[in-house]
Amino acid sequence: MNLGAIYFSMEIIHTIGILQPYINECKARQLQVGFVPTMGALHEGHLSLIRQSLKENDITVCSIFVNPTQFNNTNDLANYPRTIASDIQLLEKEGCAVVFIPNENEIYPSVSFKTLSIDLQDLDKNMEGKYRPGHFTGMVTVVKRLFEIVQPHKAYFGKKDYQQLKIIQFMVSYFKLPIQIIACETLREPNGLAMSSRNTRLSAEQRKNAEVIYRALLNAKQNFFTLSITQLKNRITEEINSCKDFKVEYVEIADANSLKPIIDNEKINAMAFVACFAGEVRLIDNIHLS
Ligand code: AMP
């Protein structure tokens, strides 16, 4: 017998009725709770958030819930990858204490359940908010609901979904929730493509060609102080569109805090944001420019 081995078993919890006493017990024992909300189809990007939470907390809770109210496109929702068995294996291997996998009724218990009504101070006006109407209302509603259920000390979000991150930070300060939001760097494939659950829907050729997205963003960063904002946006668009099967939906250059589009003489704290289609699959990415 290997006395050094620790046999660890992760709790797989589907209901609030079971999760909450578990969390209460952890809190009564003064344990620090870290939380990583996801929609599953887990990849290394998600696992990097889990690992950071494991380092900074006593227990880590990961939720897997494909939230219907944040999908503005029924096809996208239907085609969203679902790999629950392998997700559970990955989380257990990492040492996650709890995976919370609620069904829709658990999160939205009655038809009269209200989506959150909150003025997001224009953080939701551009980019994803503009091209995916209703997305952020659905997202912020479910994250607030999950925060109320899990009541973590810290919650981890990826900068890959930068606008989402900013909106969650705002929501937490608006409702004065006692939760620290930790922003985590974007994990990329070796060719630069930002990891995403949706990448599994790309063909091998599209996945290879998708390196164009980060390359175009890096080129913009290199030329940020020599080209105008319009030139930079055009260059990113042209570079991506020149790739077979790829079509830009938007390119924006915006302030990293307010997310308002920036103009030429305000080149501080700027970020570039892009959304594009590779065939049917919608991809997003961003980069800090200055
Ligand atoms: P999702 O399952 O797509 O809702 O993502 C769950 C969390 O993982 C969000 O906070 C995302 O921003 C984060 N995430 C997704 N992809 C990446 C990535 N490539 N690198 C870092 N974090 C990521």
- List pLDDT tens digits, range 224-243: 999 999 999 999 999 999 99
Q: What is the pTM (predicted TM-score) of this model?
A: 0.96
**For residue range 134-185, what is the model confidence (pLDDT) as tens digits?**
999 999 999 999 999 999 999 999 999 999 999 999 999 999 999 999 999 9
Per-residue confidence at 2, pLDDT binned at 50, 70, 90? very low
Residue 161 CA, ligand 1 centroid: distance in Å: 7
Residue 37 CA, ligand 1 centroid: distance in Å: 9
Among 14, 43, 46, 135, the active-site one is: 46
192 assigned to some structural domain: no
Does residue 44 register a pLDDT over 60? Answer: yes
CA-nearest residue for atom 13, ligand 1, is 158
Residue owning tokens 């997205």? 213
117 assigned to some structural domain: yes
Does residue 3 register a pLDDT over 90? Answer: no
**Residue that finishes a domain, picked among 125, 159, 184:** 184
Residue 110 CA, ligand 1 centroid: distance in Å: 29
19 and 58 belong to one structural domain: yes
Ligand 1 neighbour 161 (Cβ under 6 A): yes
Ligand 1 neighbour 54 (Cβ under 6 A): no
**Residue that finishes a domain, picked among 184, 213, 233:** 184
- Cα angle vertex 55, ends 53, 61, to 5°? 30
List the CATH number of the domain containing 230: 3.30.1300.10
The ligand 1 atom nearest the CA atom of 49: 22
CA-nearest residue for atom 22, ligand 1, is 158
**For residue range 173-228, what is the model confidence (pLDDT) as tens digits?**
999 999 999 999 999 999 999 999 999 999 999 999 999 999 999 999 999 999 99
257 and 209 belong to one structural domain: yes
Does residue 1 register a pLDDT over 50? Answer: no
174 and 203 belong to one structural domain: no
169 and 214 belong to one structural domain: no
Determine the average pLDDT of the residues in 18-26. Answer: 97
Ligand 1 neighbour 135 (Cβ under 6 A): no
Ligand 1 neighbour 286 (Cβ under 6 A): no
Helical pair 135-150 and 16-28, crossing angle rounded to 10 deg = 50
35 and 157 belong to one structural domain: yes
26 and 167 belong to one structural domain: yes
Strand order across the beta sheet in which 180-184 lies:
11-13, 98-100, 59-64, 33-38, 154-158, 180-184
**Residue that finishes a domain, picked among 158, 184, 210:** 184
What is the domain extent for residue 209? 197-288
Determine the average pLDDT of the residues in 91-120. Answer: 92
Determine the average pLDDT of the residues in 245-272. Answer: 94
114 assigned to some structural domain: yes
List the CATH number of the domain containing 16: 3.40.50.620
* Whole-number Å distance between alpha carbons of 149 and 22: 11
173 and 223 belong to one structural domain: no
191 assigned to some structural domain: no
Ligand 1 neighbour 144 (Cβ under 6 A): no
33 and 135 belong to one structural domain: yes
* Whole-number Å distance between alpha carbons of 208 and 196: 14
28 and 96 belong to one structural domain: yes
**For residue range 55-86, what is the model confidence (pLDDT) as tens digits?**
999 999 999 999 999 998 999 999 999 999 99
170 and 206 belong to one structural domain: no
Does residue 129 register a pLDDT over 70? Answer: yes
189 assigned to some structural domain: no
213 and 263 belong to one structural domain: yes
Structure-model confidence comparison of residues 117 and 289, the more confident one:
289
Residue 123 CA, ligand 1 centroid: distance in Å: 19
If one counts the domains in the chain, the total is 2
230 assigned to some structural domain: yes
The pLDDT value given to residue 7: 52
Phi-psi region of 41 (alpha: psi -120 to 50; beta: other; left: phi over 0): left
Q: Is 14 marked active-site?
A: no
153 assigned to some structural domain: yes
The ligand 1 atom nearest the CA atom of 158: 12
180 and 91 belong to one structural domain: yes
Mean model confidence pLDDT for the chain: 95
